[in-house]
Amino acid sequence: MGVAKRGRIKRLLLGLAIFLMVVIWAGPILVVMISSFKPESIIRRESLVLIFRPSAEHYHFIFTKWPFWQFLVNSVVVSSLSTVISVTVGSLAAYSMARFNTGGPRYSFWVLSTRMAPPAVLVIPFFIMFSKLRLVNTWWVLIFVYLTFNLSFVIWTMRSFFEEIPEAIEEAAMIDGCTRLLAFRHVVLPLVSSGLAATMMFTLIFSWNEFIFALVLSAFRKTLPLALGDFVTGYAINWGPLFAAGTFVMIPAIIFTLIMQRRLIRGLTLGAVV
Amino acid sequence: MGDDLSNGLSESLSDGLFVIRGAVRRSEYRIENLVEWRLVKMVKRLLKVFLVASLLLGLGVCGLFASTGLAATQPVVLVIRTGPEADGLRVVAKEFTKETGIPVQINELGRQGYEYTITTQLVAGTDAFDVAFYPGWLIGEVVQAGALEPLNSFIAKSDPKKFDRDDLLVVYGLGDKIYALPTDVSVHFLYYRKDLIPDPPDTWDEYFEVAKKFTRSLNPKSPTAFGAGFSAHAGEEGPKIFSSVMWSMGGWIFDEKGNVGIDSPGAIAAGEYYVKLAKAGVISPDILSWSYPNVLDAMRAGTIAMAGPFWNAAYAEILNSDSPYRNSFAVTLVPGVKQKDGSILRTPFWHGWTLVMNAQSRRKQLAWEFLSYATGKHGGAIYARSGGGTPARRSVLGNPDLQKIRPEFALVLKTLDIARCEPVMPFYSSYSDAMNVAISQMLTGKAAPKDALREAGAKIRELLKKSGK
Amino acid sequence: MALYTILLVIAGALLLYCLFLTRVSEHALPVYLVVPATVILVSLTIFPIIYLVNLSIRDVGIYNFHSSWPFVGLGNYATIIRDPEVIASFFRTLQFLVASIGLELVLGMCMALILYQEFKGRGAVTTLLMLPIMVSPILVGMMWRYMFSFNDGFINQIFSALGAKKLPWLTNEPLPLISTILGLGDPKWAANTLNLNYGLASIVITDVWQWTPFVALLVLAGLNALPVEPYEAAVVDGASGWAIFRHLTLPLLRPVIMVALLIRLMDAMKVFDTIWALFEGAPFTRVLNISLYNVGITRKIYGQGAALSILIIILVTIMAQLVIGFVERLEKA
């Protein structure tokens, strides 16, 4: 067998593998997006229907007959406010930990360990505590509770970004008469701003996607992922509107992946750990 | 947590992350001056705008809520699960507002865990709703948390002729306190394809024989894939469907004296009957994931020849669907067991969905107006006309005009005469869970019916003992 | 009005904090900066856990929620660890962890090796493959519920279009072949007791679908960071492609794989949303988190739920210890 032929077979196999991977991993997402345009009459057909006349009826349904905008507002308010708080509070702590090694490894590990427990174990105490405080079904409860996973995430990611900034830059600014805080604000923060933006987008997405806390603590101030359950009715699963709303739930995640792909690892290694 | 753990984690993490971060940083800086960098900047700017906007929006909406809080005419908030009941009650609410001028806001929730969500919310002391669509069988549970408003004083004040308690099929309460009025009643029917089955089965044995005839794996000429179908999904329905079979075979859940009958010979016979159906393949192998929608879909798709015991609500849905089989289904009483004297003991299941008043409601009088209207004769008639709902009033069910639009009402009344319901219990969800586990174990063959039901029986005895103390 | 009181207190504290931020001495600044984060984290994690411990030694449920909660010692723990459903869900969780993480590591490695090759459109393909990672897990669950649905599901539609038999996804049916291969005898028994059924397979497939790209991303980064010199030496020595991978790439990648394992392990322990969306808590698919929800929220026996929560926290801690010890031993060897 010639080298050229072997190379060709190798390329063919590689091409096949790549094709299969794309079909398996991007396929289901595509199926959801395409199915959201399928007319109701063919969506629960038993046989495979690939060619059909696209219809916007499901989108029309979720916009006019379903309080989509209300859920969207809930989702946006909760995830953005939780992001703002966690990024502000977290950056301060991260800066202190990166620059002064505050608390040492024990403190930083403790911060990390707060993310280790499955959220399900916190559901019962949160439910009882917040119902005694009469905070159930408010934005505030979700904003606050989402800090459990957002804050430690921000601290760990931002710490690594701050550690990359040489201290000499700040010291130069301080010699010029800046205080530490002014140097932080005007010298360090602009330098880490792209990292900060990436971190913010991560926390936005994490809060955007959250389900179990919203399920227990905010059943009447539903966020979008929770509201998807509306289409699983007692009588049928309405796949059409579910996919239409699901597409909107996916859009931020997809845009985010497109923009952030190079930074995905860094966020996820510190984010998903624990 | 110890030092060694933290150090260990930090070390192993930093080792791995060092490698990764090196790679990432290199690739980041390599492409920094390319498109991505500009994108990041754009996103940063967008994010700023977005965050400021959402903050303002948040404050604005807060303000809006605050100002509406002061407004005089607040609507009565009704929470209900999505489906035909919601469609029906929406029409009732519209009529009610037209007649009384009291606005009603309807808040719909999905089915997934609906009753648990409402219970949890009631326990948490929410004031997010005034009236809730609530399962009658869970009243005993939620009453303990003091979350429901007793309706006695409202009933006492209302016109007895207008309210007519005797016309209601049931009222739910504990002791002498009434907590819930029924708005929708459900019974079990047997659905069968009248084009295939001229004589519907009268006993469970006949049911099995007919099912075998219409199962393709046993009879290749069968037009349907499976002879029968019902809900066995672990959730609300599984134990209820099982009860319809179990009662007729002589089993029971528990009686007033606290004798548990879930592992009695009759109940075990019902379990063995389930296993017989599954082993013969006359029900779909994924029967454990079948709940109402799956059975309904199977009927509409022509997959099954019979569905039963199955809910009366499906009748209207099947008729109004675009299925080619929509006119092929007929309903009759659920099968039973032939007794020594030749009669057939049929024990269809029935239960009611109710309207309850939240004890935390701030508009109790208005809430009562709506509650009594919706469960009343007039409201019930509107409800029956406008959707697939089945109002819990004898006068409405027996109304000949309505029976013309809703032909199954006559059968509902006939079924109700012989139907049984579950005993009121303050631990319903634990009971339901125990039964679901047992049904799942029997149908999968994990445990023999005897053992599975004995385990469930032990759990129920434990619960009874606990609630008795 | 508790809400407004709390908001007012928080706003006041924030104001005071900002007021003093510029006046704090250089010396106290580091500690001052971590104070808000620490306060929030303590109130969100340490405090609930203490509360949880308190609940777990009391008899609390919907039946006495608004009255007093009698002390029962370790009674709740005793009930929980004897509950056959909880024990079954514990073993199911372990199986889920082993199966899904094992598959994710192997498939992720393959994916990374393919993406490491030079080919046209590599960037685009990589991006497409990464899409599942950030999609909301609840939506992923719903999506796969549709894909797996028996009659109108996408996978079975494809199967029947290709003339193959529809597969009973999402059910308790035994997986074909597996019990014969493993010599376990009765497949029904294996499906029930050992969870070798389509239900668990569906859960594993869903998890693998979402998280394999993430493992691939990590391994790919590791591959990109590999030093060039040992490879040049190996090529000079005439080593085969497989030998290079086995004796050079794999050992060099070990730290990265360990990080992936650790992250996935901790993350997979949190699984709830996808399984909830797929099965709504059907008994034969319950993992520990679902069991916990069932006891604590569905059945509303809060005391027992709290006891189970504490046990899960202990389990997670032990698992973290074990994995880290394992990683350390590898490093030393």
Digit-by-digit pLDDT tens for chain B (469 residues) are: 345 544 544 454 455 555 555 554 444 444 333 444 555 566 667 667 766 766 666 666 555 555 444 444 688 999 998 877 888 899 999 999 999 989 999 888 877 678 888 888 888 888 889 999 999 998 888 888 888 999 999 988 888 777 788 888 888 888 788 999 999 999 999 999 999 999 999 999 999 999 999 999 999 999 999 999 999 887 788 999 999 999 999 999 998 888 999 999 999 999 999 999 999 999 988 788 788 888 988 898 888 999 989 999 888 888 888 788 989 999 999 999 999 998 999 999 999 999 999 998 888 999 999 999 999 888 888 998 887 688 888 888 888 888 888 888 999 999 999 999 898 888 888 899 899 989 988 988 888 999 999 999 999 998 888 777 5
Could you say which architecture CATH assigns to the domain A65-272? Orthogonal Bundle (1.10)
Mean pLDDT is lowest, of A186-190, B11-15, B239-243, C258-262, for: B11-15
Tokens 């210890």: give the residue. Answer: C321
Among the partner residues B82, B124, B317, nearest to A131 by beta-carbon distance: B124
Please give the biggest Cα pair distance in chain C.
79
Cα C309 to Cα C303: distance, rounded to the nearest angstrom: 10
Contact status of C139 with chain B (Cβ, < 8 Å): no
B357, β-bridge pairs: B131
Q: Inform me whether the pLDDT recorded for A132 exceeds 90.
A: no
User: CA of B128, closest CA in chain A: separation in Å?
Assistant: 7
Q: Are B363 and B74 in contact (CB under 8 A)?
A: yes
Among the partner residues A80, A232, A273, nearest to B54 by beta-carbon distance: A80
Mean pLDDT is lowest, of A201-210, A252-261, C36-45, C128-137, for: A252-261
Q: What superfamily in CATH does domain B186-350+425-468 come from? A: Periplasmic binding protein-like II (3.40.190.10)
**Contacting residues of C for B5, CB less than 8 Å apart:** 320-321, 324
Within the 167-186 window of chain A, which residues sit less than 8 Å (CB to CB) from chain C?
179-181
Cα C328 to Cα C163: distance, rounded to the nearest angstrom: 52
Contact status of C130 with chain B (Cβ, < 8 Å): no
User: CA of C117, closest CA in chain B: separation in Å?
Assistant: 16
Domain pair B76-185+351-418 / B186-350+425-468, same fold: yes
Contact status of B462 with chain C (Cβ, < 8 Å): no
* Per-residue pLDDT reduced to its tens digit, A197-208: 888 988 999 999
What is the distance between the terminal CA atoms of chain A, rounded to a whole angstrom? 51
**Contacting residues of A for B10, CB less than 8 Å apart:** 105, 108-109
CATH of domain B76-185+351-418: 3.40.190.10
Give the residue extent of every domain in chain B: 76-185+351-418, 186-350+425-468
Cα A212 to Cα C270: distance, rounded to the nearest angstrom: 11
Please tell me the predicted confidence (pLDDT) of residue C251.
86
The residue of chain B with its CA nearest to that of A42 is: B322
Q: Coil, helix or strand for B419?
A: coil
CB pairs under 8 A between B and C: 137
Mean pLDDT of C75-99: 92
The residue of chain B with its CA nearest to that of A218 is: B121
User: CA of C190, closest CA in chain B: separation in Å?
Assistant: 9
How far is residue B46 CA from its own chain's centroid? Answer: 44
The residue of chain A with its CA nearest to that of B47 is: A197
The pairing of strands B304-311 and B226-229 is parallel
Single-letter amino acid code for the residue at A208: W
Whether A46 sits inside 8 A of C44 (CB atoms) is no
Cα C41 to Cα C49: distance, rounded to the nearest angstrom: 12
CB pairs under 8 A between A and B: 136
Single-letter amino acid code for the residue at A141: V
How far is residue B71 CA from its own chain's centroid? Answer: 36
Is it true that the peptide bond before B309 is cis, omega within 30 degrees of 0?
A: yes
User: CA of B240, closest CA in chain C: separation in Å?
Assistant: 16
The residue of chain C with its CA nearest to that of B66 is: C4
pLDDT category of residue A274 using cuts at 50, 70 and 90: very low
Q: Inform me whether the pLDDT recorded for A110 exceeds 60.
A: yes
B306, β-bridge pairs: B192, B228
Please tell me the predicted confidence (pLDDT) of residue B122.
87
Cα C60 to Cα C55: distance, rounded to the nearest angstrom: 7
User: CA of C25, closest CA in chain B: separation in Å?
Assistant: 30
Domains and CATH numbers, chain C: 85-298+318-332 (1.10.3720.10)
Whether B297 sits inside 8 A of A236 (CB atoms) is yes
**Contacting residues of C for B289, CB less than 8 Å apart:** 150, 170-171, 279, 282
Q: Are A140 and B61 in contact (CB under 8 A)?
A: no
Contact status of C8 with chain B (Cβ, < 8 Å): no
Contact status of A204 with chain C (Cβ, < 8 Å): no
* Per-residue pLDDT reduced to its tens digit, C90-131: 999 999 999 999 999 999 999 999 998 888 888 888 888 989
* Cα distances (angstroms) measured from residue C20 to each of A85, B129, C13: 19, 43, 11
Please tell me the predicted confidence (pLDDT) of residue B280.
92
Give the residue extent of every domain in chain A: 3-58, 65-272
Mean pLDDT of A116-141: 87
The pairing of strands B131-135 and B350-357 is antiparallel
B178, β-bridge pairs: B173
User: CA of B177, closest CA in chain A: separation in Å?
Assistant: 26
Q: Inform me whether the pLDDT recorded for A81 exceeds 70.
A: yes
Cα B357 to Cα B367: distance, rounded to the nearest angstrom: 7
pTM over 0.90: no
Let me know how long chain B is.
469
ipTM summary value: 0.90
**Contacting residues of A for C22, CB less than 8 Å apart:** 179, 181
Please tell me the predicted confidence (pLDDT) of residue C292.
94
Which subunits have 3 or more CB–CB pairs within 8 Å of chain C?
Answer: A, B
Q: Coil, helix or strand for C58?
A: strand
**Contacting residues of B for C168, CB less than 8 Å apart:** 285-286
